[in-house]
Amino acid sequence: MSEKLLPDILRKDKRLEAFAELEGKSFEQVSAKIPYLLIYKLENLSDSELEELAWQFDISQTEWELATDRKQKEELIKNNILLKAKRGTKWAIKKVLDLLGLQGQISEWFDYGGQPYRFKVDIDLKYQGFQSDTYDKLFNLIKEYKNVRSHLDSLNIYLTSNLKQNRALLLLSGHDITIYPYQVKELQLSAKDYTAIGYQAVHTTTIYPATN
């Protein structure tokens, strides 16, 4: 190790060589601890290690059980400090629902004409499905992140699905055409018409001999 740490000009100094050897051992000890610093590189952790880290960050069992895959669990850990800082706000409830892949809508009392400091939550479980304890878990999750003053009026859960339906329409039509022998039904004749009027008059005059 000392040969790697010291340049050629200093390798002949025995004191520096001993110092370099000592420092080399210290560096090896520090390097051996580096993997422990990578504990927050979550994608490299096993499932059990990830769960231990969630315990360290005080992530509730309700949150952990509502997470349906590893990605959601990692996001809970990454956003845990921010969620704790914003706890007691509408934003915190909406954020934790988003991290768990839940489509939630929060309506405050003035949105629906309710009593002051009350609110409603509508959640769509289209990707999670509904289990016997799902309602209780969601209720506890909201209770964990809401402020103490506010009270939950109602929690409405919806199960929607998007189905792709293929439809086709075929229209067939036909016409029967009968052609009979040609028959003349009407004849039109165009011709020039000359009209003339003649008038002839004859007058007869008789002259008799004069008489006394």
User: What is the distance of C-alpha 6 from the center of its chain?
Assistant: 59
Question: What domain range is 122 assigned to?
Answer: 58-158
Q: Which residues pair with 155 in a beta bridge?
A: 121
Tokens of 199: 């008038």
If DSSP codes are grouped into helix, strand and coil, which group holds residue 161? coil
**69 lies in the same domain as 136:** yes
Alpha helices in the chain (DSSP H): 2-5, 14-37, 47-56, 61-66, 70-78, 80-85, 90-99, 109-112, 134-145
- State the pLDDT at residue 204: 72
Mean pLDDT for each 10-residue chunk of the chain (212 residues)? Answer: 58 68 74 67 88 92 93 94 94 95 92 94 84 91 94 90 76 75 62 71 68 58
pLDDT at 127: 73
Strand 151-158 vs strand 103-108: parallel, antiparallel, or unpaired? unpaired
- What domain count does the chain have? 2
Q: What is the pLDDT of residue 161?
A: 73
Of 158, 176, 201, which marks where a domain is finished?
158
Contacts by residues 38-46 (CB-CB < 8 Å, ≥ 24 positions apart): 42/74, 42/77, 42/78, 43/74
Same domain, 36 and 63: no
Query: Domain check: are 24 and 64 in the same one?
Result: no
